[in-house]
């Protein structure tokens, strides 16, 4: 069975600082990996996804994530945090060859301090 673990339910950074949100997955087959963001009172929005090919994936709003098979990780980073990045971030995994079923982590709430 697949699963996703997000370390740190709350992360606080200063404006301009590096953002690092951690995601580890468990999957017996090559996974597809996703990061979604949820702003207050809104639904989830895709930031980026890894399917095949280049392991460093660039997304919207300056975010990127790197698929590391040996570490079973897909951490999300952004070099310089903006106040507008304050939101909840969800990592998700789906299984290659399977139907459209996403398994989500519990989410990380990012706070950005001025």
Minimum CB separation of residue 23 from other proteins in Å reads 12
Of positions 27, 73, 94, 108, contacts other proteins by CB under 8 A: 94
Partnered with residue 21 across adjacent β-strands are: 76
55 binds other proteins (CB under 8 A): no
Site string for other proteins, 4-23 (x = CB under 8 A): x----x--------------
Residue burial 45-84, b: 16+ Cβ < 10 Å; e: rest: eebbbbeeeeeebebeeebbbebeeeeebbbbebeebeee
Q: How many residues bind other proteins (CB under 8 A)?
A: 27
């Amino acid at each position: 069975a697949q699963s996703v673990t997000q370390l740190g339910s709350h992360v606080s950074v200063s404006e301009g600082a590096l953002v690092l949100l951690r995601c580890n997955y468990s999957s017996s087959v090559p996974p597809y990996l996703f990061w979604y963001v949820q702003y207050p009172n809104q639904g989830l929005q895709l930031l980026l996804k890894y399917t095949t090919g280049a392991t460093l994936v660039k997304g919207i709003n300056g975010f990127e994530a790197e698929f590391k098979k040996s570490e079973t990780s897909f951490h999300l980073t952004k070099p310089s945090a903006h106040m507008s990045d304050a939101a909840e971030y969800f990592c998700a995994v789906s299984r290659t060859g399977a139907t459209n079923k996403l398994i989500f982590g519990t989410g990380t709430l990012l706070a950005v301090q001025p």
